[in-house]
Amino acid sequence: NEAQERFIAQNPKSKAIHERATESLPGGNTRSVLFYDPFPLSITSAQNATLHDADGHSYIDLLGEYTAGLYGHSEPVITQAIIETTKKGLNFGSHHEDEGRLAALVKQRFPSMELLRFTNSGTEANLMAIAAAKIATGKKKIVVFANGYHGGTFLFAAGKNSPINVPHEYLIATYNDLESVHALIREPENARDVAAIIVEPMMGSGGCIPADEGFLEGLRKAADESGAVLIYDEVMTSRMHSGGGIQSQLPVDMRPDLTTLGKYIGGGMSFGAFGGKRSIMDIFDPRRPDSIKHAGTFNNNVLTMAAGRAGLEQVFTPDRAQQLHAIGDKLRKRLQEIGRGTLMKVTGVGSIMCFQFTQSSLDRIKSHNDIADSDATLSGLLHLFLLQRGFYIARRGFMALSLALTESDLDGSAKAVEDFVVEHRQLL
């Protein structure tokens, strides 16, 4: 309460901006994830890794727009690409060269994506990938994982409380639990009707829970056994390793049939993509008389295509990607060390991580079941504490590092977390 009262006192302008917005937006909000009590800060501008708010405070941005902000806020190559593109005109209602060039760059990094198409968001990419799987197999059921996230229209995990749910026939398995998948796909009423298994190769929004060794390979075999299409949702994880996602670490024959992407790959503009095996993606070839129509006014919008292309070509090279991955691993280990012997655990892979306040030991966190006791009050306390110290993370403890962060930013954030643990020891 004390932290919250201080927050209110220190942010009168953000408070007023939020209150004004509540007159036209429900709760002043148009992206549920961005609301937190008592009101969210109103950010007015940002450069590199620094955010500035309406009340004149600055924050080091550790949230990185939930991974879409990989390039930071004023990466010169990206900025230049956007400025130059706007001079040439916006959205022509036509094909243009950058589409094919961005697609080729994506394909280079994700060789399992033999053919791909663009969308405006990761959510749409998943809608399309699932549709493609259903068409390709002629089957209906979709294996998903409890607490998985594939976009705001797939709230299967929220069950009855969520009317916003594309009404597929979901079979909900447990992450990192192959038996739970086998049990579902072998049930007589499902056995011949599984169109797809869709999985995040690291569960992102559900708590940054990495896939166990063997889990992804097991899913490949399960998909083959049931004749289902294996879809990797790498919307968040596409930045991993040298920029080819988590699938880049698997043998070629263990990779998915379809992959969905989003977030940073559009250079920070709205973006999504889905693609994979030619035999599946060919159904979208408009030269075919029986082709499946896939529309979207902004699928090939020139800003996304140009910014995305510039970013992959010139900025987020495989070396840079590998470096960022290593920086993330190092920071997470340090934070884990700080939390040793307390409830504070830090999960994740590479540059994506999440604080959890749970009794489970780190190596025991395999699915949502193992963090069911997560204490949201402690996450909220950490969030307010870090804001007070000038570090911006998600209320639920999520962080995604950007290329703009300096060593001293990261060092400062670790020190702030250390102080949090020392000051709140009795609660942890």
Active site residue 149: yes
DSSP 56: S
Shortest approach of ligand PLP to residue 331 CB, angstroms?
A: 20
Q: Which of 59, 66, 71, 149 is catalytic?
A: 149
Active site residue 233: yes
Shortest approach of ligand PLP to residue 367 CB, angstroms?
A: 16
Closest CA to 266 of 44, 43, 99: 99
Phi, psi of 141 (to 5 degrees): -85, 145
Q: Which of 98, 193, 233, 370 is catalytic?
A: 233
Shortest approach of ligand PLP to residue 124 CB, angstroms?
A: 7
Q: What is the DSSP string of 112-165?
A: T-SEEEEESSHHHHHHHHHHHHHHHH---EEEEETT----TTB-GGGGGG---B
Shortest approach of ligand PLP to residue 210 CB, angstroms?
A: 14
Beta bridge partners of 58: 52
Shortest approach of ligand PLP to residue 66 CB, angstroms?
A: 5
The answer to whether residues 365 and 409 touch, using CB atoms and an 8 Å cutoff, is no
Q: How far is residue 290 from each of residues 139, 171, 285, 293, 295, measured CA to CA in Å?
A: 19, 30, 9, 9, 15
- CB-based closest residue to ligand PLP: 122
The answer to whether residues 304 and 266 touch, using CB atoms and an 8 Å cutoff, is yes
3-state DSSP call for residue 104?
Answer: helix
Q: Which of 263, 277, 345, 366 is catalytic?
A: 263
**Which residues of this chain interact with ligand PLP, rule CB under 6 A?**
66, 121-123, 126, 149-151, 200, 204-205, 233, 235-236, 262, 272
Choose between 85 and 238: whose C-beta lies nearer to ligand PLP.
Answer: 238
Beta bridge partners of 232: 199, 259
Phi, psi of 191 (to 5 degrees): -50, -40
Choose between 14 and 238: whose C-beta lies nearer to ligand PLP.
Answer: 238
The answer to whether residues 239 and 70 touch, using CB atoms and an 8 Å cutoff, is yes
Choose between 68 and 310: whose C-beta lies nearer to ligand PLP.
Answer: 68
- Farthest-apart Cα atoms in the chain, separation: 68
Choose between 158 and 422: whose C-beta lies nearer to ligand PLP.
Answer: 158
Choose between 7 and 66: whose C-beta lies nearer to ligand PLP.
Answer: 66
Q: Catalytic residue numbers? A: 149, 233, 263
